[in-house]
């Protein structure tokens, strides 16, 4: 697994956990049995020719059947991803979904394909389909900053899921999650609602996952990379990624709109290239702000070095300048520069608000290509 994760959240890609529910099943069986001392002769005779009454329609039955239809439709597109060490030993597993049947592209989470010891990728991968076919997969690309990765398998009668528009799904919509919790309970289906949209959760100290969907559909370890499906449309609106460790029914999925954008770039380039400012920096501390006579609560980053011939140098930025904002976004502990720059690409224009000699200024800057 990559890096130190936020303490309050668990990425759903590790093989750990437990199972419960036996007591409930036992109770249902025992409570349905007739008393042993009840003589059968006391039972009333069958009515209307021995035909039992027909049950009336059960409220919500149609919704249940809709869920069954979703599962039957999309289960063949959901896979289990097994991540191996160079020794050939399986080190972790998660879930994924086929998004392109003709070319064999499978979307999953970056942390599913990472080496558990560092931030490198695993040595090799297998994909297991719902019919238990196991095939090898190659890594096309991965993006740690959005936790999206793409694998490719040899196309062979594959079923692909459709990535819907996550913006269209309303809060309260019925959703289904499918995956392989704990790495062994393949093809597990859970059902819930879309609880909220636009959530922002820290994955590491420097990486915040943006535009997350929140759901109360059960998401457990090993569900990472599996789909969150909008029941009404049979379309995938999210890729499950993490759960809150200290709460029930608090799971999160990367929005399908983010997944589509990142996956397209990974397929085209093998990586996501983000816009380059050309600075080295450190976070502005409260002590530094006080020493510089800045107002209490001033946030930002202090430039320690400007890369020669970079956009920053062209724009006239200098060491000791304090960048407070990128466009309208303040750079603070919850919005570090690395996270803010996730959505920008080379050629994009941004406005930087910076402080020099205690005076606030702005400068427009065209982002460049990262230097090798």
What region does 233 belong to: left with phi over 0, alpha with psi -120 to 50, or beta?
alpha
Partners of 213 in beta bridges: 253
Catalytic hit among 147, 191, 256, 339: 147
First-to-final CA distance of the chain: 26
Catalytic hit among 92, 111, 321, 339: 111
Q: 103: exposed, middle or buried (C-beta count within 10 Å: 0-12, 13-18, 19+)?
A: middle
Active site residue 216: no
Catalytic hit among 224, 255, 310, 339: 224
Determine the Cα–Cα distance for residues 95 and 109; give it in Å rounded to an integer.
Answer: 8
Active site residue 166: no
Could you tell me the two tokens for 58?
């059960």
Task: Please list the alpha-helical segments (H only) found in 155-285.
Answer: 256-269
Which DSSP string do the residues of 46-110 spell out, in sequence order?
PSGGGPPPPPPPPTTHHHHHHHHHHHHHHGGGEEEEEEE-TTS-EEEEEEEEEEETTTTEEEE-H
Residue 168: partners with Cβ closer than 8 Å, 6 or more residues away: none
* 3-state DSSP assignment of residue 35: coil
Active site residue 309: no
Determine the Cα–Cα distance for residues 278 and 137; give it in Å rounded to an integer.
Answer: 36
Catalytic sites, residue numbers:
111, 147, 224
């Amino acid at each position: 697994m990559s890096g130190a994760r936020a303490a309050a959240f668990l990425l759903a890609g590790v093989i750990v956990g437990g199972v419960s529910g036996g007591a409930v099943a036992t109770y249902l069986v025992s409570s349905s049995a007739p008393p042993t001392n009840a003589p059968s002769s006391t039972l009333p005779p069958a009515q209307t020719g021995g035909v039992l009454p027909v049950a009336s329609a059960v409220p919500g039955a149609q919704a249940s059947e809709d869920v069954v239809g979703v599962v039957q439709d999309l289960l063949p597109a959901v896979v289990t991803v097994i991540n191996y060490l160079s020794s050939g030993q399986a080190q972790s597993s998660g879930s994924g979904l086929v998004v392109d049947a003709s070319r064999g592209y499978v979307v999953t989470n970056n942390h599913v394909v990472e080496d558990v010891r560092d931030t490198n990728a695993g040595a090799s991968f297998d994909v297991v389909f719902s019919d238990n076919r196991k095939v090898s997969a190659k890594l096309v690309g991965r993006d740690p900053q959005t936790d999206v990765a793409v694998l490719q398998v040899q196309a062979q009668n594959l079923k692909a899921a459709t990535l819907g528009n996550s913006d269209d799904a309303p809060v309260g919509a019925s959703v289904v999650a499918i995956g392989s919790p704990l790495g062994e309970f393949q093809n597990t289906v859970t059902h819930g609602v879309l609880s909220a949209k636009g959530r922002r959760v820290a994955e590491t100290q420097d990486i915040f996952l943006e535009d997350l969907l929140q759901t109360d559909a059960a998401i457990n370890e090993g569900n990472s990379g599996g789909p969150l499906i909008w029941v009404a449309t049979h379309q995938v609106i999210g890729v499950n990624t993490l759960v809150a460790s200290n709460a029930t029914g608090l799971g999160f999925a990367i929005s399908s709109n983010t997944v589509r954008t990142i996956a397209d770039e990974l397929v085209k380039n093998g990586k996501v290239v983000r816009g380059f400012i050309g600075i080295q920096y450190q976070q502005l501390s409260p002590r530094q702000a006080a020493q510089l006579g800045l107002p209490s609560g001033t946030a930002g980053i202090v430039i320690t070095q400007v890369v020669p011939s970079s956009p920053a140098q062209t724009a006239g930025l200098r060491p000791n300048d304090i960048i407070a904002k990128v466009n309208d976004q303040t750079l603070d502990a919850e919005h570090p520069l690395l996270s803010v720059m996730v959505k920008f690409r080379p050629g994009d224009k941004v406005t930087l608000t910076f402080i020099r000699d205690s005076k606030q200024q702005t400068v427009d800057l065209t982002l460049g290509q990262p230097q090798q």
